[in-house]
Amino acid sequence: MRTCLSWRAVWAGVLWCAVLLPLPGAAASADWRVIKLGGRDYLPVNQIAGFYRLRAVPQGDRAISLVSDERRLDFRAGSREARLDGVKHWLSFPVIYTRGQFFISRMDLAKTLDPVVRPHRIPRLRPVRTVVLDPGHGGHDRGAVNRLGTEKNFNLDVARRIRPHLQAAGLRVIMTRRGDHFVPLEKRPAMANELDRKDPGTVFVSIHFNAAPGNRSAATGFEIFTLTPRGAPNSHDNFMTRRSFAAERGHAQDHGSMALAVSIYHAMLGRVPMFDRGIKRARFAVLRHAATPAVLVEGGFMSNPRDARLMADEHWRERLAESIALGILEYVQLTRTRQPPKLLAAYQAEEAAVLAGTDWDYQPLAGIGAMVRPGFRGARGWRGLLPAPLSEEMPSYRLEFEPRGWAQLEAWASVGEDARSMAAARAAAPPVKPWLELPPPFRGVLGWRGLAPPRDAPSRFELVPSSGGPLAEVSHPGEERTLPFIMEISGGAL
């Protein structure tokens, strides 16, 4: 009798534990702990690591890494720069270290980390059928120029080389221009929007090459842009303005655009050895007006002697075009089968033998320290040997009041849409007073906070759409609170 009761007790305990204890990875009973730091929602890194099944490994008291057997996410306190799966990303807000913990903004969790770590869980991804390639500039707008050529011609050549690779995979490919003529910027994404309206499943990829001041600039490498999320500064900005809160058509595709950028950029860096300037955010016209997933690729600096020699080589441009096409096809595969795109490490493993047999001057992805040679007295590291600071080194983010006259500059940017096109238009226009002398656009308003809508306004926007991202509920003022865990886990797996 005692034996029978003891076995019954054991089975009852097993059943009771099965009911009460969640499966590994299930988070039905977990809560997100959100705290206010600088008036913004932040979440502890340790909790983020647990959600994505990563191990949090401190790197001293200023950095932390989230690692697993397949991936690694590196963050540094006080910095907007993060390295996710070996690739540089620019966050919307800096990582904060306080109370003995690291914290990441809720905006970056929803708009950057989740699309990068779990692209297969992005909602409403439609299978891609059409790719719109946009060779930047054209006609009277030459873009950047060096002694080896013009940007408009390099853009068109690379786009033409991408097209057959996509067509061979059964995709319809439309080019915004096929010859040397100018297409207004707002009409370029409009082509993709119209195609997507008639036959859903279109992406927009704009091809450009970069430039920096001076004929022999130290700035070098690849970068790729997606639209800046609503309520965040651009990657190159260290303050927010009224435009930071404006709703654009492209914001509906924030997650899809990030997944497309990651797919293309990993392929570019994995197959073409160039300096990694990162996946960045900007409010370029072609990104703002695109109602489809959209990215803008920068394939090196025409103002850098080494980059210029590479892009003038048609074999190098063919290699770049193949890499961009492979990245697009990885995104197409994601939309059709929900298979995550290939990462940088996989490309590097596949291309190791190919790169070893080339004469390319391979530079480390994390920096250009290989340029330094011993024997330079008084030079503190390789940065001291450069003729100018690298332009990718951005200032730490800080919230400032809107500079005087900024509203007028933003109005010009919205109308002219592109800095180079605007410069040509203003040259023929009658002179205007310098912008610093313009009166404040709104008298009595101190900074952008006075222009933001009140929290209880019925027309306020949500930073994170309720249909996607780890957090669906908009936070309210308060020192610290918890939010219910709303991400649905199917089968106990991420």
Give the bridge partners for 55, in sequence order. 67
More confident residue, 451 or 375: 451
Note whether 184 and 355 are within 8 A (CB).
Answer: no
- Distance, in Å, from the CA atom of 413 to the CA atom of 284, rounded to the nearest integer, reads 9
Over residues 96-106, the mean pLDDT reads 93
pLDDT tens digits for 178-228? 999 999 999 999 999 999 999 999 999 999 999 988 778 889 999 999 999
Confidence band (pLDDT; 50, 70, 90) for 383?
very low
> In this prediction, what percent of the chain has a pLDDT beyond 70?
65
pLDDT of residue 72: 96
pLDDT tens digits for 331-344? 999 999 999 999 99
pLDDT of residue 408: 59
pLDDT of residue 455: 52
Give the bridge partners for 483, in sequence order. 32
- pLDDT averaged over the chain? 77
pLDDT of residue 411: 58
Considering only 198-212, 329-343, 417-431, 480-494, which range has the smallest mean pLDDT?
480-494
Note whether 40 and 105 are within 8 A (CB).
Answer: yes
Over residues 462-491, the mean pLDDT reads 40
pLDDT of residue 28: 34
> What is the assigned CATH class of domain 31-117?
alpha beta
pLDDT of residue 171: 98
Confidence band (pLDDT; 50, 70, 90) for 130?
very high
- Distance, in Å, from the CA atom of 413 to the CA atom of 415, rounded to the nearest integer, reads 6
Angle at 260 between CA 108 and CA 464, to 5 degrees: 30
- Distance, in Å, from the CA atom of 351 to the CA atom of 107, rounded to the nearest integer, reads 35
pLDDT tens digits for 145-190? 999 999 999 999 999 999 999 999 999 999 999 999 999 999 999 9
Does 24 score more than 70 pLDDT? no
- 326 token code pair: 């492979």
- Distance, in Å, from the CA atom of 28 to the CA atom of 486, rounded to the nearest integer, reads 8
Instruction: Give start and end residues of each alpha helix (H) in 302-418.
Output: 305-311, 314-337, 344-356, 406-416
Confidence band (pLDDT; 50, 70, 90) for 471?
very low
Phi, psi (5° rounding) for residue 39? 75, 15
Question: What share of residues in the chain are helix, strand, coil (percent, to 5)?
Answer: 35, 20, 45
- Distance, in Å, from the CA atom of 421 to the CA atom of 139, rounded to the nearest integer, reads 11
- Find out if CATH 3.40.50.10490 is the number for domain 123-367: no
Distance of alpha carbon 80 from the chain centroid = 12
Give the helix/strand (H/E) hosting 40.
strand 40-44
pLDDT tens digits for 53-85? 999 999 988 999 999 999 999 999 999 999 999
Does 401 score more than 80 pLDDT? no
- 106 token code pair: 């809720």
pLDDT of residue 412: 59
Q: Measuring CA to CA, how many Å separate 331 from each of 77, 263, 265, 322?
A: 32, 6, 11, 14
- 482 token code pair: 């918890």
pLDDT of residue 216: 81
pLDDT of residue 461: 35
Angle at 91 between CA 87 and CA 94, to 5 degrees: 125
More confident residue, 241 or 45: 45
At 371, which amino acid appears? M
Closest CA to 155 of 194, 211, 84: 211
Distance of alpha carbon 249 from the chain centroid = 17
Does 418 score more than 80 pLDDT? no
More confident residue, 325 or 368: 325
Does 365 score more than 50 pLDDT? no
For the chain, how big is the Rg over CA atoms in Å?
A: 25
Over residues 382-407, the mean pLDDT reads 44
Note whether 472 and 487 are within 8 A (CB).
Answer: no
- Same fold: 31-117 with 123-367: no
Over residues 310-328, the mean pLDDT reads 96
Over residues 404-432, the mean pLDDT reads 51
More confident residue, 390 or 195: 195
Considering only 116-125, 210-219, 300-309, 310-319, which range has the smallest mean pLDDT?
210-219
* Domain residue limits, the chain: 31-117, 123-367
More confident residue, 229 or 409: 229
Who contacts 218 (Cβ-Cβ below 8 Å, separation ≥6)?
Answer: 212, 304, 386, 387, 388, 389, 390
Note whether 79 and 15 are within 8 A (CB).
Answer: no
- Quote the DSSP letter at residue 186: T
- Distance, in Å, from the CA atom of 469 to the CA atom of 51, rounded to the nearest integer, reads 12
- Distance, in Å, from the CA atom of 390 to the CA atom of 167, rounded to the nearest integer, reads 38
Helices 254-271 & 344-356 angle (0-180, nearest 10) = 20
Does 476 score more than 90 pLDDT? no
Helices 254-271 & 314-337 angle (0-180, nearest 10) = 140
pLDDT of residue 39: 85
Confidence band (pLDDT; 50, 70, 90) for 494?
very low
Closest CA to 238 of 79, 368, 384: 79
- Distance, in Å, from the CA atom of 219 to the CA atom of 225, rounded to the nearest integer, reads 17
Instruction: Give start and end residues of each alpha helix (H) in 199-313.
Output: 254-271, 285-288, 305-311
Note whether 223 and 278 are within 8 A (CB).
Answer: yes
pLDDT of residue 242: 81
Angle at 36 between CA 34 and CA 42, to 5 degrees: 50
